[in-house]
Structure 1
Amino acid sequence: MITETSNEMRAIDALLGCYAQVLDEQDWDRWPDLFADECSYTVHTLDNIRRGLPLAYMYDDNRARILDRVKFITEVWAGTIEPYRTRHVTQRTHAAQVAENRWEVRANFHVSFTENDSLSGLLATGYYEDVVEISVDGAQFVSRAVRLDSMPARYLVYPL
């Protein structure tokens, strides 16, 4: 059972929607703003989690590493990767308050990709396990753990 106020769910849903929009528009300067000062962003396959393997596609355990990821995308890897566009479809499936102004949120996702204006394909499916903090300024991720159903269809450059 989800017990919440409509204002809290609007803030959480606005964050989830903004996250998808920022990634799909590749607005890398805005991506770190979706995270709190003390934060983490990780991407693991469910298989690795079930087997107790610490291997991760992405492991940004603090804000500095999230900022580094943006720098790699925009400066280090620029011109050396095959760029692609993404489209995120996200559906919140769970929300529970765990502390004042702090929520655990789970949402399923499908991410498709398109390279060079060719046909689109399915990049990844899975779910997000988030800890979200809500303030008068809106909601931010304290942690975002991406759980992939399987290995992605191609290499990952951009956050999911």
Structure 2
Amino acid sequence: MSEIEPNVIFSIENLNRDYICALDNLDMEKWLACFNKQGSYTLISNENESKGFPIAFMLDDKYERLQDRVTQVTVIQNDSTEHYQMRHMTQLTSIKDLGNNRYQANYNFSIFYTQNLVEKSELLCVGRYEDIVLVENGASFIQRKAVVDTNVLPRYVPYPI
């Protein structure tokens, strides 16, 4: 296996940073900008993923559905969603060169949330990201799959993880 170029690692890490900053700031347009036009996003439990069950918490299997997710959060449900503050902690665990400027990157994550900004912060979920990233003049997600360790989350989740 060949060594991954430092500039590739830097680009992938910057993409992950942009992604988590967008969500922590509830900026869905910046979240969408992390994906290329072939992009997809899945939020699924580890149990369903490991058993090959296609049942997911969120399944945005093409870019148009990612756009719908932004509209859902910012327009359709904006006044009816119980908003909360997220804080993402991530750790890059591996990068593999897939060829053609595509890389598989894996991260561990833990996400905390605070309701109403006056209550105590609690753990929303832990898990891993399984990404396919295109690195050309920066980096963008072809696929981001968030695999959470548990089958039940402590609250309704309107935002991507």
TM norm structure 1: 0.96
Which residue is 1:62 aligned to? 62
Q: Is the 8 A contact 2:90 2:107 kept in 1?
A: yes
Relative to structure 1, the CA distance from residue 106 to residue 2 in structure 2 (aligned partners, 3 Å threshold; closer, same or farther) is farther
Which residue is 1:71 aligned to? 71
CA distance in 2, matches of 1:29, 1:39: 14
CA distance in 1, matches of 2:37, 2:50: 30
Which residue is 2:92 aligned to? 92
Which residue is 1:104 aligned to? 104
Which residue is 1:5 aligned to? 5
Which residue is 2:17 aligned to? 17
CA distance in 1, matches of 2:144, 2:29: 18
Which residue is 2:160 aligned to? 159
Q: Is the 8 A contact 1:2 1:94 kept in 2?
A: no
CA distance in 1, matches of 2:54, 2:136: 32
CA distance in 1, matches of 2:108, 2:154: 18
- Secondary structure in 1 matching 2:134: strand
Tell me the percent identity. 35
Aligned residues: CA RMSD: 1.2
Which residue is 1:146 aligned to? 146
- Secondary structure in 1 matching 2:29: coil
Q: CA deviation at 1:52?
A: 2.8
Q: CA deviation at 1:109?
A: 0.3
Q: Given the alignment of the two structures, is residue 53 of structure 1 paired with residue 53 of structure 2, yes or no? A: yes
CA distance in 1, matches of 2:88, 2:40: 20
- Is the deviation greater in 80-89 or in 45-54? 45-54
CA distance in 2, matches of 1:155, 1:127: 19
Q: Is the 8 A contact 1:2 1:95 kept in 2?
A: no
Q: CA deviation at 1:51?
A: 2.9
- Is the deviation greater in 1-10 or in 55-64? 1-10
Which residue is 1:127 aligned to? 128
CA distance in 2, matches of 1:43, 1:54: 11
Structure 1: gaps (5+ residues): none
- Secondary structure in 2 matching 1:55: coil
- Secondary structure in 1 matching 2:80: coil
Which residue is 1:27 aligned to? 27
Q: CA deviation at 1:34?
A: 0.4
Q: Is the 8 A contact 2:128 2:146 kept in 1?
A: yes
Alignment length (residue pairs): 159
Structure 2: gaps (5+ residues): none
Relative to structure 1, the CA distance from residue 2 to residue 88 in structure 2 (aligned partners, 3 Å threshold; closer, same or farther) is farther
Q: Is the 8 A contact 1:127 1:147 kept in 2?
A: yes
Q: CA deviation at 1:100?
A: 2.3
- 1:68-101 deviation per Cα after TM superposition (whole angstroms, max 9, x unaligned): 0000001111111211010000111000100121
